[in-house]
Structure 1
Amino acid sequence: MNTALYYFSGTGNSLSVARSINNQLEGSELLPIVGCLKQKPIKVNAQRVGIIFPLHFMTVPRIVREFLKEAQFVNAEYIFAVVTGLNPKIGNALSQIEKYLNKAGVKFNAGYFIPMVAAHFPYVKLSKIKEPQKLYQEAQDKVLKISESILQLKNEFDKEAAVFGDLKLLVSKKQEHKESFLSVGEGCIRCGYCMQVCPFQNIRLNGKQVEWLDNCHQCLACLHFCSRSVIEYKKLSIGKPRKHHPSVSLNDIALQRQIP
């Protein structure tokens, strides 16, 4: 059974998980959602399909929702999703994925959550993560278990705590295109890292200014990969640690823009 793993990642957590699953499944292909959306129609020809992404505002990121609206699942026999985040079960990501797949006329077979070192942190007070390497190892251990379940085509779901149901999607929509939430503090050296890393090419350097355009998905890649940690999300990020997955580089995130 051939496998296609569609992923979106802002700070590397979901990409690291997608890579690990890809290594466990023979004949698997790793495909960036951002790049796939540049070619329409999107025909998903694989028999086994994975969708891997971070939790954004307690729900599915906008780019993933756009992908699911466009995707045509031609030969899918088994579809699974893996959600990463600080506490990815708090939200309605899996139930939203199921709704989109139902509209597409295909069955959602399995869904999993993998807690990771926090990266997408708006509106959440975070302390410094203790023993991040332990958390990364626990994530890798769960990836191996998930991969085994996928190989066995198990129908199973981690339980999510979707207390407020569709309110999560409403909160997410209210954050879309909020470029004004992002700003650059003192100490910017105009290195261009933010412009280079943005999966949506939504940042430009204009003289001494860093400017966000009108297609911000608030993945916060720019904030976490900033070479001087001077990009802020309103006042909510001040004093908080910047985190991106240690195995994922700025270039890895930027490569999502390429058409596969």
Structure 2
Amino acid sequence: MVIETDTILYFSGTGNSLQVAKDISSNLDNVWIYGLASLIDAKEIEVKSKILGIVFPVYYARLPLIVEKLVRKLKINKDTYVFAVVTYGGAPAEVLIKLRNLLHNGGRTLNSGFLLRMPANHIFAYNPSSTKKHNMVFEREKTKIKEISAVINERKDYSCERSKLLLDTIIDRVFIKTTNKIMANFHVRDEKFWVNDKCNSCRLCEKICPVNNIEFNLNNPIWKHNCEQCTACIQYCPKEAIQWGNKTKKRRRYRNPNVNIIELLRIL
């Protein structure tokens, strides 16, 4: 596959990273946004465009597995300006340094890297914040998007941002073996998903999963152990019938209010 048009590749479960990709593209000229999950089966992706962006959420101070897999497939023209934006709600640590090193190992360069706080929504661990707090985050996002877009438009080199809290980085380094183990079992952690009797077999979870990890059997969803833990299925279930172990029964769902479900269902 060949990418010749200026493009932003994004990975998004709740819509946060998709919103960021949309907002950046609206400040640039003739830039497409494209769900990277739809490219994952390509053996190699040759990038000939002038600009390539990669937008994704941070998981355990790491790249999502699917993003790492796709980045390894990129063959990027030396004249292409490459930028990345990582959305986070907790501790991003040095995730952009990890991406920069991954690109560098493949003979590619990350020209600029940005961290962008968005509403935290790790439903496996906690409830989302209030709508009021979310709106404050969205207002700050607008300001930073303008700053990011200005750097991209001028194709400036910009050092990869790191967490402002040194403790984030220290924790990441100290617990690296633990997070390595978590990431190694990421795909099969979907074994904790189940549905209660509210499920009406609407199959939205099957349609919204970006990696086609869900299929229905006798009107019940089955997770196929290729999960990216993006939480799209549990967050967008209209009946809130999907649960993860016993932790999510009383937790509120989060859906980015600036992205509609049709956009998330699109491949492009």
Give the TM-score of the pair, scaled to structure 2.
Answer: 0.87
Structure with the bigger RCO (C-alpha within 8 Å, sep 6+) is 1
Worse overlay, 214-223 or 230-239: 230-239
Show CA shifts across 1:95-133 (max 9, x none). 2101210111122222111111122343x3345335122
User: How far is the alpha carbon of 1:134 from its aligned partner?
Assistant: 2.1
The number of residue pairs the alignment matches comes to 255
Show CA shifts across 1:5-25 (max 9, x none). 111111110011001111111
Q: Which residue of 1 aligns with 2:126?
A: 125
Q: Which residue of 1 aligns with 2:169?
A: 162
Does the Cα contact within 8 Å between 1:197 and 1:251 map onto a contact in 2?
no
Q: Which residue of 1 aligns with 2:102?
A: 100
Does the Cα contact within 8 Å between 1:43 and 1:73 map onto a contact in 2?
yes
Tell me, in whole angstroms, the C-alpha distance in 2 between the residues paired with 1:96 and 1:154. Answer: 17
Tell me, in whole angstroms, the C-alpha distance in 2 between the residues paired with 1:170 and 1:180. Answer: 16
Q: Which residue of 2 aligns with 1:238?
A: 249
Change (3 A) 1:225 1:110: same
Tell me, in whole angstroms, the C-alpha distance in 2 between the residues paired with 1:250 and 1:200. Answer: 16
User: How far is the alpha carbon of 1:60 from its aligned partner?
Assistant: 0.6
Show CA shifts across 1:126-172 (max 9, x none). 45335122222211221111111222214133222322234444432
SS in structure 1 of the partner of residue 151 of structure 2:
helix
Tell me, in whole angstroms, the C-alpha distance in 2 between the residues paired with 1:241 and 1:192. Answer: 21
The structure 2 residue matched to 1:84, chosen from 63, 87, 96, is 87
Tell me, in whole angstroms, the C-alpha distance in 1 between the residues paired with 2:250 and 2:142. Answer: 29
Change (3 A) 1:230 1:58: farther
- Residue 86 of structure 2 aligns with an amino acid whose one-letter code is V
Worse overlay, 159-168 or 145-154: 159-168
Show CA shifts across 1:73-103 (max 9, x none). 12444222111121252x3321210121011
Residue 203, structure 1, aligned to residue 214, structure 2: yes
The structure 1 residue matched to 2:147, chosen from 145, 148, 155, is 145
- Residue 173 of structure 1 aligns with an amino acid whose one-letter code is A
Residue 61, structure 1, aligned to residue 61, structure 2: no
Q: Which residue of 2 aligns with 1:135?
A: 137
CA RMSD of superposed structures (Å): 2.1
Does the Cα contact within 8 Å between 1:198 and 1:253 map onto a contact in 2?
no
Show CA shifts across 1:11-53 (max 9, x none). 1100110011111111322122111223332111123221100
Does the Cα contact within 8 Å between 1:199 and 1:255 map onto a contact in 2?
no
Q: Which runs of 4+ in 1 moved over 4 A?
A: none
Give the TM-score of the pair, scaled to structure 1.
Answer: 0.89
Does the Cα contact within 8 Å between 1:73 and 1:106 map onto a contact in 2?
yes
Tell me, in whole angstroms, the C-alpha distance in 2 between the residues paired with 1:121 and 1:57. Answer: 14
Q: Which residue of 1 aligns with 2:266?
A: 255
Tell me, in whole angstroms, the C-alpha distance in 1 between the residues paired with 2:260 and 2:131. Answer: 22
SS in structure 2 of the partner of residue 79 of structure 1:
strand
Q: Which residue of 1 aligns with 2:76?
A: 73
Tell me, in whole angstroms, the C-alpha distance in 2 between the residues paired with 1:54 and 1:141. Answer: 19
Show CA shifts across 1:156-204 (max 9, x none). 3322232223444443223222221211123111111111111112112
SS in structure 1 of the partner of residue 226 of structure 2:
coil
SS in structure 2 of the partner of residue 159 of structure 1:
coil
- Residue 97 of structure 2 aligns with an amino acid whose one-letter code is S
Does the Cα contact within 8 Å between 2:120 and 2:128 map onto a contact in 1?
no
Does the Cα contact within 8 Å between 1:69 and 1:100 map onto a contact in 2?
yes
Residue correspondence of structure 1 range 25-36 to structure 2 within 5 A: 25-36=28-39
List runs of 5+ in structure 1 lacking aligned partners: none
Tell me, in whole angstroms, the C-alpha distance in 2 between the residues paired with 1:237 and 1:85. Answer: 21
Tell me, in whole angstroms, the C-alpha distance in 2 between the residues paired with 1:224 and 1:76. Answer: 40
SS in structure 1 of the partner of residue 83 of structure 2:
strand
Q: Which residue of 2 aligns with 1:193?
A: 204
SS in structure 1 of the partner of residue 206 of structure 2:
helix
Change (3 A) 1:121 1:228: same
Tell me, in whole angstroms, the C-alpha distance in 1 between the residues paired with 2:159 and 2:100. Answer: 13
